Amino acid sequence: MNVESLPEALPEGVDDEAYVIATYFVCANPRYNVYKIAPAIAVEQSTGTWVTVPGETEEVRRTHVAKVIGIYEIPHYEFELPEVTERTYLVQIAFPWVNFGAQIPMMLTTVVGNISMGGKIKLMDLKFPKSFTKGFKGAKFGIKGIRKILNVPERPLLNNMIKPCTGYPPQAGKELFYEAARGGADIIKDDELLANAPFNTLEERIPLYMEAADRAEEEKGEKTLYAANVTDRIPHVLENAEKAIELGTNCIMINYLTAGISVLRALADDPSITVPILAHMDFAGALYESPFSGIASPIVLGKLPRLAGADIIVFPAPYGKAPYLKERYIQTAKTMTYPFHAVAPVFPMPSGGIAQPMVDELIKDLGYDIVIGAGGAIHAHPMGPAAGSRAFRQAIDAVMEGRSIDDAAEEHEELAQSIEASLKAIKEMRDLMG
């Protein structure tokens, strides 16, 4: 058989622009020969199956077979194998993207698909060629566009998610929205648990919330974006988005993993969707939390939603209630902001139990191009939601001025009380978790 039709190659032997390169972490029983299994997987996920079939000709393989371009055992034994119960590898497979085109569902079917049921195999990264990513429009606004809308050129933005999460009528939400907005929230979003519920519909709440946004803008002299949650089944999610914009919302939100990542892309690519899109992370843990299987979080939470067109991506922060390694958190944020061919950089939005005293660490870790996601720390502030938002802004201003948050708290009662309340809440949460 011609080497060009084999399911393996040197890294230099493949055209980088013709392949999406997947990197996997693999744990295998010592008796398994990964150097034979990996090429078999490459065939299984491209041209063939577990048994030779007549239609899998050499001509078909030359263009369509996936190729193993690297198997790196860690530790990399050279002379003899010790007695071990497991051997671990990094495996790289190059998939011809002509097999699935410039789209995400069939790409994931190819690079994860049946492999996800193969035991301890975790997809660690995907390297996309420029020829592939140019088929995606990416974010309409991204970091630059949202800063322009809000006229905030530098500082971190503040997002509030209305709490309680759900169960309240639109009029109650309007008052909570107004208070958080007038205190200084740049963006206010629905909780991921509230979309177009019968007790609080988009038709009812969007006009009320936008009225509250206008009222707050008159007071504070700053614009507020409202990210209305349009998540639903197809085609209702698209109808919800168009309806939300007609009703006056200036931002929309989608639970992109439960609705489907291609729904996010459809919204971003639709010329009638003329507002930024906030992508929420719920369900992501089901894909990335296992250390041995699934898909690594920087792909699920960063690279894929950015490619699909999100302008802001919510992801877990390690400072609050989310169990997430800080190094993984920082790595994920970089996938949203670092150069990615022509795909625009987008806002990372760390979230999950974030309180005012954490602002210093947040900015040190991720810089100024972030949206700080805060819910309970605003709405549970002892002086009310407006004071909760003000306390965040006071903390942000202090850090940008090179001052400590504790020093700023001596000048601002809102910030001082937020620190005291946060420390108490954190202690209670830790006691609850044992």
Query: Hey, which residues are catalytic here?
Result: 163, 280
d(CA 371, CA 347): 6
Both tokens assigned to 157: 């933005």
Number of helical (H) and strand (E) elements in the chain, helices listed first: 19, 13
Phi, psi dihedral angles at 89 (to 5 degrees):
-140, 155
Tell me the three state secondary structure of residue 374. Answer: strand
d(CA 280, CA 171): 24
Helical spans, DSSP H, in 134-284? 142-150, 170-183, 202-220, 236-246, 256-259, 261-269
Q: Listing from the earlier edge strand, what are the strands of the sheet with 294-295?
A: 67-73, 87-96, 19-28, 121-127, 294-295
Tokens 């239609």 — which residue?
55
Sign of CA dihedral 95, 98, 104, 109: negative
Phi-psi region of 353 (alpha: psi -120 to 50; beta: other; left: phi over 0): left
The one-letter amino acid code at 221 reads G
HSE-CB of 197 using CA atoms within 13 angstroms? 15
Both tokens assigned to 396: 């942000």
What is the H or E stretch that residue 72 is in? Answer: strand 67-73
Selection from 187, 414, 167 nearest residue 177 by Cα: 187
> Measured between alpha carbons, how far is residue 347 from residues 12, 36, 199, 308 in Å?
35, 42, 32, 14
Selection from 27, 73, 85, 70 nearest residue 293 by Cα: 27
CB 121 within 8 A of CB 26: yes
Give Cα 362 to chain centroid, integer Å.
Answer: 17
Phi, psi dihedral angles at 374 (to 5 degrees):
-135, 135
